[in-house]
Structure 1
Amino acid sequence: MSITETVTTAARNAWALSFGAGIEPVDPTPSTVLWDEPHRLLRRYDTEYRSAASDSAVLLVPPLAAPATCFDLRRDQSLARYLVETGRAPYLIDYGEIGFADRRMGFEDWVTDILPEAIRRTSADRGGAPVDLIGWSIGGMFSLLTAAANAELPIRSITAVGAPLDYDKMLGVPQLRAVAKLTGGRATTAVVRAAGGIPAPLTRLGYRLAAYDRELARPMFIASNIARTDTLAKMESIDRFQAAMPGYPGRFYGQLWGRMMLANDIGNGKLELRERTIRLADVRVPVLLIGGTVDVITPKAAVEAGLRTLSGAPSVTYEVVPGSHLGILTGPEARETTWAHLDKFLAERE
């Protein structure tokens, strides 16, 4: 690229970031809405390859406090588009916005209602075919708990990417427990209960703080890459993702705090609810676990714990890939790492 072209590109990018509509327009993978009710919008990604690979379906399961666009950030960073291109039939369950009115929603809503119904509808749309679940972060935990709690569901396999399966291994949790001992944990739960949950702005702030090095380096990063349009487009997609983060319902966060962070239920292979105990040992399908080398939100050791707790699964495969929490799902290297492991895992099921 000549000096003139470089200067022109840099000026265009600077304008797009400062005053324009952005570096790259949003280009979601085409999809069709099959089911639209509060916190349970089901999409089927449109594909001409629907019968090319197998009759099975793939259901993408996002976590809470993260937009469902995590699976479809941009054209070159879209697991949904990759699944379409490799001849699979991907679907997505989207929980939408979470507000004060949703404060009574908890783990039960997802693992015994929202996800089971999404799985049934996905299977029915494929003529009763089995469903492969792919969950990211707490979406992976949701997927495993849903399979454990509902043995009758047509689940063929589960892939959990960056799923927190042992809170003893989570960064900062031991320190939080020490602080909680001073108040019996009541201070945190009282504040969350009063607010009806964790508001979206706090979720976004927390994610930024977890990646504080990225935030500090942002001005220099932009200046150093002002003429690199694709690099800035990747940065912009992450910014857009962060800006769309929803919050946590009050009851759910209370359970996350009490049952996971304080009691480490999941690390002990279970989830204690009011009326039942769900045990990971009751997962009876093959599982693929993926941890990230530099994931500070869910360290790889917290993912690896599933090798111990998923004792009833016919097989549990654990892979470590380079990248951060979001990066292992949809970063620049994901196609050659996470997605390659996923492709091999799904092919073995077929």
Structure 2
Amino acid sequence: MLSGSLADLRPTPSDLVDQGPRHALYRYRPSGKVIPTGPPVLLVPPPAPAAAAAFDLRRGCSLAEHLVATGHRVYLLDHAPGLRSPREPRLETWVDEVLPRAVARVSRDVDGQPVQLVGWCLGGVLCVLAAAARPALPVASITSVAARVDADAARPAASAGVAHLIFEGISRTVAGDRNRIREIGISLTRPITMLTRLDDTDFLAQIEAVDAFTAHMSDRSADRLYERFFPGNALALADVEIAGRRVALADVRVPVLVIAGRDDRTAPWRTVHPLTRLLPRSPDVRFVTAPGGHLGVLSGRGARGTTWARLDAWLAEGSVRHGLRAPRGQRERLASRS
């Protein structure tokens, strides 16, 4: 009643440590309650304005806040719309320049320790491609959340030629109509849902935070990014052409955790899972699903006990793998699992 809002949208405190023409790199400040340990964690959003806010949606539903509180050294790679040049970024810009520079800078900041990458949406794909293109990068592991790699995996099989073109046209029309109908349905039922849950401030705060985020980045924004970087579903192949050369995903030689949202319409789990078969040389590839849509699987209220718990265990294993002490809270989780 006093502020006109319920969601605490204050960003988790951080400091700028590096910036380029298309990006900014931030280091989150330690919480003061724990001593940060273990390999550093670099959060990688898709290269779109405001997309980095997905990792820090609101207080209480912020993955960045959670990782800092559990004793990790946490960094964020931001697209930084204020630093953009007039031209839209190209795939090679991020795979060959932005990500390698950020990974190297984070590693230097922690005395040469390898970096654990956590990418959301297209950010997860860029992490994998950067590791494939630059095997010498100090990368300890990759977590790819809600990253679509094979759009055709969610569609029924269709014959080649004219029949395939007809099917594609019909499917896109139906999908567009379905999305419009879904948006109309949500707009009609949402007031009723909110009225029946006026006593649930956490629920209302989440709606407010999601509205603030989607005002800048929607599911359609994610689709446009995929279409620009990987036309014709090119990402489903075993290698990708970047700046005139082929980058083979088989060159990824670090552990990879793949997470899909069970209710994700932008990246259904069937379009996410194929990444696991494209990484034959990775020493450890795991696939898990968690409740939530495209944003909800990362920063939804249910993510606290599902996606975040999976990520906590994964990062703790990475600390042990590199002979480093995991944060105290993560060591306790490992002990309880064993």
Please, what TM-score do these two structures have when normalized by structure 1? 0.77
Number of the residue aligned with 1:242: 214
Pick the aligned partner of 2:306 from 313, 321, 337.
Answer: 337
CA distance in 2 between counterparts of 1:173 and 1:135 reads 30
AA aligned to 1:29 is T
Which of the residues 24, 27, 30 maps onto 2:10?
A: 27
Q: Indicate yes or no: 2:136 matched with 1:159.
A: no
CA distance in 1, matches of 2:75, 2:164: 40
Conservation of the 8 A alpha-carbon contact between 2:90 and 2:229: no
Q: Give 2:227's aligned residue.
A: 257
Q: Counterpart of 2:230 in 1: which secondary structure?
A: helix
Aligned-pair CA distance for 1:214: 3.7
Unaligned segments of structure 1, at least 5 residues: 1-11, 186-204
What residue identity is the alignment partner of 1:219?
P
1:283 aligns with 2:252: yes
Question: Are positions 1:41 and 2:24 aligned together?
Answer: yes
Q: Structure 1 residues 315 and 90, CA, compared in 2 at 3 Å: closer, same or farther?
A: same
Structure 2 residue corresponding to 1:107, chosen from 91, 96, 119: 91
The residue aligned with 1:219 is: 191
8 Å contact from structure 1 (residues 70, 330) kept in 2: yes
2: distance between equivalents of 1:294 and 1:50?
35
Return the alpha-carbon distance in structure 2 between the equivalents of residues 318 and 117 of structure 1.
Answer: 28
Instruction: After TM superposition, give the deviation of residue 173 of structure 1 in Å.
Output: 12
Pick one of 272, 281, 296 that aligns with 1:327.
296
Q: Which residue of 2 aligns with 1:293?
A: 262
Q: Secondary structure at the match of 2:304?
A: coil
Identify which range, 34-43 or 70-79, moves more after superposition: 34-43
In 1, distance between residues paired with 2:80 and 2:316?
A: 31
- Deviation of 1:75 after TM superposition, in Å, equals 1.4
Query: Which amino acid in 1 is paired with 2:250?
Result: A
Aligned residue in 1 for 2:333 = none
Q: How far is 1:78 from its partner?
A: 0.7
Asked if 1:70 corresponds to 2:54, the answer is yes
Alpha-carbon RMSD across the aligned residues, in angstroms, is: 3.4
Q: Is the 8 A contact 1:29 1:81 kept in 2?
A: yes
Does residue 91 (structure 1) correspond to residue 60 (structure 2)? The answer is: no
Unmatched tracts of structure 2, length 5 or more: 170-175, 320-338
Deviations, residues 176-218 of structure 1 (Å, cap 9, x unaligned) = x989959xx9xxxxxxxxxxxxxxxxxxx9xx86962544432
Change beyond 3 A, Cα 1:219–1:148: same
Report the residue type matching 1:164 in the other structure: R
**Residue 267 of structure 1, CA deviation:** 1.1
Give the aligned partner of residue 59 of structure 1.
Answer: 42
Render the CA deviation track for 1:65-101: whole Å, top value 9, x for unaligned.
4521100111111110111111111100000228995
Distance in 1 between the 2:268 and 2:162 partners?
A: 20
Identity of aligned residues (%): 38
Equivalent runs, 1:91-240 vs 2, <5 Å: 91-97=75-81, 102-170=86-154, 212=183, 213-240=185-212
Matched-pair contact (CA < 8 Å) for 1:161–1:289 = yes
Q: Matched residue of 1:334: which SS? A: helix
- What is the match of residue 330 of structure 2? none
Report how far residue 64 of structure 1 moved. 3.0
Q: CA deviation at 1:52?
A: 4.2
Q: Is this contact kept in 2: 1:171–1:296, CA < 8 A?
A: no
Cα distance per residue 1:143-198 (max 9 Å; x no partner): 00010011111000000001112121256998xx989959xx9xxxxxxxxxxxxx
Report the TM-score when normalising by structure 2: 0.80
- Secondary structure of the residue aligned to 1:92 is strand
Name the amino acid aligned to 2:300: G
Say which is worse superposed, 20-29 or 298-307, in terms of deviation: 20-29
Name the residue aligned to 1:79: 63
For the residue of structure 1 that corresponds to 2:302, the secondary structure is: coil
